[in-house]
Chain A
Amino acid sequence: MLNSAYAYQLELFTDDWVALGRAILKVDWEPAREWTRFTAVRAGRLPAANVDLQTRVDPIWHPRAGEPYVEGFRVAMAFDHDMVEHVFGIDYFARLARRALETLAERQGVATPGTARYITTAYPAPDAAPAGKPMFVAREIAPDLTLEDASLAEIAGRATPDGEPAGDDVPVFLPQRVLDEAARLTGVAGDKETGGILIGHVRRDPARREIFTEVTAQIPARHTEADPTTLTFTAETWTDVRGAIALRGRGEVMLGWWHSHPVQAWCKGCEAGSGHVCQAGAGFLSADDHALHRTVFPRAYSLALVVTDIGPDGPAFSLFGWREGVIARRGFATIDKTPDARVARPSPEALPDRARQERCRAHRR
């Protein structure tokens, strides 16, 4: 059960603080709730089996502007006679702000600004219509997840750090073999997207009191529908994957998913000059990808791997995961890494020109 007694609103501005409009936010608090819970589990403050917790969300007012201006929000979860809480910044609303900006621009018949500023406000909403009485009661129970004890040092000794610096992220270990399989399947799929499910274990190092995830295999997604810009996972896909996990009988769980971006197909006939670095080659998650991750992989340890066929040197890999309740690019460590494996890196200094971006966007629609 989650209680939030406030309604949140965005005020949107240009970079020069010219007002663009306002938008009421329909905030999805679930990722923040999950992040709060997982952070407490990781710190050893909450047993992993505690999932059905009374949760409250309250705004944190801006220290100078005061109410109703929001600097962030606090999620508090009660359990037994204790409480855990986590503070989030307004970055949590960034994707909602972007969507609101696009909606606003579309309504006004103008191009969506590349960047904008936003201010978040919150107002008491005591009169919000209570949800209708549910037809039945569904209480969350602990999922089939066992935190097996394992040595972080032992696995780290066999692995090579890749991608963005991990910071405070939960360590993730991916075998080179899995990356190779994803790369091969990406090549086989040619101009179409393809993908699969990452399975493995969530482990805890009792000595260091740290949680980490170890991917053990990828299961190719079958019964999908694919074209150059879309990959549809069907109900049959999930049945197939669950059957494969059961058949392996190793107690693995779905840790995440991967899919390919056939950038070479997207960029056929590209007129960008030599030396141009395509933004798509850096690896990214689209709006659909974000929605899929939120729907199917809501746990804080869940992963999304993007395989980008950026050129003749072979594909590059980008890993994303939850951080502070939002999906962000993150690092990982490759087990038994081969020397020529590549990791995609964003290149903001070499973004395509505006016309090129428009063309890429059009293609991806």
Chain B
Amino acid sequence: MNTQGLLDLALEASDVSGQKTVSVSGLPADATVGELVQGLLGQMNLPQNDVGGNPMTYHARLEREGRHLHASERVGDVFQPGDRVVLQPNINAG
């Protein structure tokens, strides 16, 4: 699973509506889920701040296990081939 520190498996990530999906590669096995989420927000062009400029909270939901991953978990410990994570924000309507 782990080759030269990189996660050697296919991983997909999508936004919450499923309208935008990316294939992730070259992910360091010792990266945290929090780092994965932050990287995904930038590369998927998802807003990182709310209207007031405050950081938005996104949860990474691992579909296979049906749970929200903790930001401190290591990606090398949690992901398996074919896994899919969904970025789920806490977000306000007004």
Contacts and interface: CB of A to CB of B under 8 A. Distances in A.
B20 A295 contact: no
Contact of B24 (A138, A297, A298): A138
Interface in B1-45: 12-28, 31, 35-36, 39-40, 42-45
Contact residue range for chain B? 35 or more
A231 interface: yes
Given A193-B93, A295-B89, A134 B20 contact: no
A30 interface: yes
Interface of A is mostly: mixed
A136 interface: yes
Given A136-B39, A291-B51, A296 B94 contact: no
Contacts of A295: 46-47, 56, 89, 91
A139 interface: yes
B25 A291 contact: no
A234 interface: yes
B80 interface: no
A288 B17 contact: no
A292 B14 contact: no
B92 interface: yes
Given A134-B43, A135-B39, A136-B39, A230 B93 contact: yes
B90 A235 contact: yes
Interface in A272-325: 286-289, 291-292, 294-299, 302
Interface string B77-94: 000000000101111111
Contact of A235 (B12, B15, B21, B68): B68
Given A138-B13, A138-B43, A141-B12, A291 B20 contact: no
A208 B59 CA distance: 42
Contact of B93 (A142, A235, A288): A288
A195 B92 CA distance: 11
Contact of B31 (A135, A233, A239): A135
B94 A288 contact: yes
A232 B46 CA distance: 18
B22 to A, nearest CB: 4
9 contacts: A233-B93, A238-B88, A253-B18, A254-B19, A286-B93, A291-B51, A297-B19, A298-B15, A298-B19
Given A135-B35, A233-B92, 19 more contacts: A134-B42, A137-B43, A140-B20, A141-B21, A141-B22, A232-B93, A233-B90, A235-B88, A253-B18, A253-B19, A257-B93, A259-B93, A289-B93, A292-B91, A292-B93, A296-B91, A298-B15, A298-B20, A298-B45
